[in-house]
Amino acid sequence: MGIHVPQRHLSGMMQLKGIFNVAGLTLSQRKNIKKFYERGDVNGESITKTIAYDLWHKYAAKTHPHIDNKWDGLHIKYFSLDHNIWDLSQRYIALARMLPDELWQSWQLSPVRNMLDMYTEVREKAIADNESVMSFQLPALSKYVTDKLDNKCTYTGLEPIIAQIRNTWVAMPEDNQGLQIAEEMISGKREQYALDYMSSNS
């Protein structure tokens, strides 16, 4: 038998907040919040990472250029169409497609074979829609692939490209609201921070 929870209660759960005493943090900790937020380095269990995570998902995750390095690939998000990361991405695509099919796991074959067409389609749609930014996912080189590669030239060419993509960073504009809040924490102007427990982790 299921448990019925009234919608008014569910709505209230989504608004649960925790009030953190920022004034009780050291200056170094408050500076770390800003550093983690700016870099999108927000996964962790410390108080500084928890606040940075909440700021990130409120004020940056859906707009600011960044790379999510996930198990299924590099998720490149919200970069301007003329950013150098897209040149790197096309080089990655060209070299990755040169790897023999047997190096990939079966679920990877379709995205790898169709990567260039998918990239072209996404870019052309962004241009047609007068968008200034685009997002794209590059399939991951899994451990299965890297274990089977024996220093082939195609792979040695991919290594620095992957590193450059992962390390690409775009500074936030000074008027970013999350950045302003982090600065207020550092200066002491903001002594408390309300964290949305469930909305930021949903």
Q: What is the pLDDT of residues 133-169, one digit of tens each?
A: 999 999 877 666 667 666 555 566 777 888 899 999 9
108 belongs to a structural domain: yes
Q: Give the CA dihedral 153, 156, 161, 163, nearest 10 degrees.
A: 170
Q: Beta partners for 195?
A: 18
Q: How many domains does the chain have?
A: 2
CB 51 within 8 A of CB 73: no
Same domain, 35 and 50: yes
Same domain, 26 and 75: no
Same domain, 34 and 79: no
Domain span including residue 21: 7-63+173-201
184 belongs to a structural domain: yes
Same domain, 133 and 75: yes
pTM: 0.79
Same domain, 12 and 27: yes
pLDDT per residue over 166-188, tens digit each?
A: 999 999 999 999 999 999 999 99
User: Which of 185, 197, 143, 140 has its CA nearest to residue 165?
Assistant: 140
2 belongs to a structural domain: no
Same domain, 18 and 45: yes
1 belongs to a structural domain: no
pLDDT per residue over 87-115, tens digit each?
A: 999 999 988 888 777 777 777 788 888 89
